[in-house]
Amino acid sequence: MPGTCFLQTCDGFFIVIGMQSHEILRDVFQQCSPKQVAADLGLSLSMIYKWAEPADASAGSGSTNPLDRIDALLRCTNDRRLVQWICQRAGGFFILNPKTHRPHPSYLIPATNEIVQEFADLLAVIATAAADNAITQKESKQIRARWEELKSVTETFVACCEEGNFLPLKEKQASMGTDRAEG
């Protein structure tokens, strides 16, 4: 399918880029029985099949599928906790892709240094928490917060690498310099 890209991760999952919701569902229904989905959800089989068709009100085909409804809910609330919840239910996490504009490769070194520093910060939090051979709920939350920050910084870097665009890293570095000067 034109414009669609499947990237397989090391754990066997696929990242889907450029697919419409009905196309994803159609592919999912190749692996999972639509009849079983209908039974599990208490819906008609025809409704499940309509989800896998492009919505076309004039032809009476397609139906607003759950993925489109989640997308609409996200757009109207602008609350990313919805996506985070879904990702957690699937055993993963959500990291917002950075906005990119123009390439600025001179910021590679500070960006890699930031990743290393975030990793060091995470290790420091873990070492402090584990020093007494017990990790409290508060320490667990601190570890989670550092981990989320490390993932975010690393994802920004990787996305910039993929697009050959380091302007977001340059802008972040410039704002950090301003913050330090004011602090």
The string of pLDDT tens digits covering residues 89-144 is: 988 878 776 665 555 555 567 778 888 988 999 899 999 999 999 999 999 999 98
- When pLDDT is cut at 50, 70 and 90, the band that residue 182 belongs to is low
Ordered by start, the domain boundaries in the chain are 5-63, 68-94, 105-182
33-72-57 Cα angle (round to 5)? 70
Residue 61 has pLDDT above 80, yes or no: no
What's residue 177's pLDDT? 62
The label of the residue with tokens 């009849």 reads 35
Q: How does pLDDT run across 4-44, given as a tens digit for each residue?
A: 444 444 444 455 557 888 988 998 999 999 999 999 999 99
Q: How far is CA 126 from CA 2, 88, 91, 177, in A?
A: 45, 22, 22, 28
* Nearby residues of 8 by Cβ (< 8 Å), 6 or more positions away: 14, 15
At residue 113, the pLDDT reads 82
Classify strands 5-8 and 14-17 as parallel, antiparallel or unpaired: antiparallel
Q: Report whether pLDDT(151) > 70.
A: yes
